[in-house]
Amino acid sequence: MKVGTDAMILGAWLPVGNASQILDIGTGTGVLSLMLAQRSKALIDAIDIDENAFSLAKKNFESSSWHKRIYAYHSSVQDFIPGDNKKYDLIISNPPYFEHNKKASEESERYKERSNARSVEKLTYSDLLTHISRLMSENGRFYVIIPAVAVAFFISEGEKKKLFLSDRLHIHSIENREPVRVILGFVKNKTGPKESKLVIYKDDMAHTDAYIELTKDYHARDMRRKGR
């Protein structure tokens, strides 16, 4: 499993604050949990329904400097019940799928169905949000990165679960193009959402200064160096 740009941006951008209990839903390789472990002192639970992903994440956690604070669980979010029924003050998800929902697809002519390997078969956006509401503390926060064309539908579904938009980061591949991804933040109490924007590439396809500055602590090389 490769570390994708989506995970890199989400892990570097989202505000960790004073979170003490973090839940990573669909952890994959565990990269988001590892990034947040570097930025906090929180205890982190990471779950994944895929057995291979769970095994890889567990191995990565055990090999890291933060192995005493990150725990991997082979579980779907529907079946996950944390110890002592604890609630999380920060929940994150980089869903490895695209929502195949008629309402979402009707929002844009650009929305195209993706391969079955990345489709929603066992966890819809609505189902995900139901369990976010169950697992998140009253003053907790939830952050997710999704395709831009599904944003309106996701926000609408969140409001049905009493989860309200607090942050929105529009992610553009190149300046003056439509956003390809959006990071959404949700809370249980209504608030005016904060809007921001990130452009990944310049016209010559070199990374922008903003992207480099955001992610610099997670690259093993100097992203500004020529000859990439």
Residue 125, in any domain of the structure: yes
Q: Are strands 88-93 and 136-147 parallel, antiparallel or unpaired?
A: parallel
Tell me the pLDDT tens digit for each residue of 104-142: 444 444 444 343 334 445 678 999 999 999 999 999 999
Q: What pLDDT score does 224 carry?
A: 65
Q: What pLDDT score does 124 carry?
A: 87
Place of tokens 């100097």: 222
Range of the domain at 126: 18-218
- For residues 190 and 21, the answer to whether their CB atoms sit within 8 Å is no
Residue 72, in any domain of the structure: yes
Q: What pLDDT score does 101 carry?
A: 44
Residue 4, in any domain of the structure: no
SS3 68: coil
Q: What pLDDT score does 95 carry?
A: 82
Task: Report how far residue 32's alpha carbon sits from residue 143's, in angstroms, rounded to the nearest whole number.
Answer: 12
**pTM attached to this predicted model:** 0.87
CATH label of the domain that carries residue 153: 3.40.50.150
Task: Show pLDDT as tens, one digit a residue, over the chain (228 residues).
Answer: 566 789 999 999 999 989 999 999 999 999 999 999 999 999 999 999 999 999 999 999 999 999 999 999 999 999 999 988 899 999 999 986 544 444 444 444 444 434 333 444 567 899 999 999 999 999 999 999 999 999 999 999 999 999 999 999 999 999 989 999 999 999 999 888 999 999 999 999 999 999 999 998 887 666 665 544
What's the burial of 134, exposed, middle or buried (CB within 10 Å: 0-12/13-18/19+)?
middle
Place of tokens 């169905």: 113
With vertex at residue 174, the alpha carbon angle to CA 169 and CA 177, rounded to the nearest 5 degrees, is: 80
Residue 3, in any domain of the structure: no
Residue 227, in any domain of the structure: no
Q: What pLDDT score does 22 carry?
A: 98
Residue 111, in any domain of the structure: yes
Q: Are strands 88-93 and 21-25 parallel, antiparallel or unpaired?
A: parallel
SS3 167: strand
- For residues 166 and 191, the answer to whether their CB atoms sit within 8 Å is yes
Strands (E), 9-130: 21-25, 43-48, 70-74, 88-93
Strands (E), 75-218: 88-93, 136-147, 164-174, 181-187, 194-201
Q: What pLDDT score does 222 carry?
A: 65
Q: What pLDDT score does 220 carry?
A: 65
Task: Tell me the residue type at 185.
Answer: G
User: Per the structure block, which two tokens stand in for 11?
Assistant: 């892990």
Q: What pLDDT score does 43 carry?
A: 97
- List the one residue out of 194, 116, 186 whose CA is nearest residue 156: 186
Residue 11, in any domain of the structure: no
- List the one residue out of 199, 179, 184, 133 whose CA is nearest residue 160: 133
Report the b/e string of 26-49 with b at 16+ CB within 10 A: bbbbbbbbbbbbeebebbbbbbbb
Q: Tally the domains of the chain.
A: 1
Q: What pLDDT score does 28 carry?
A: 92
Residue 9, in any domain of the structure: no
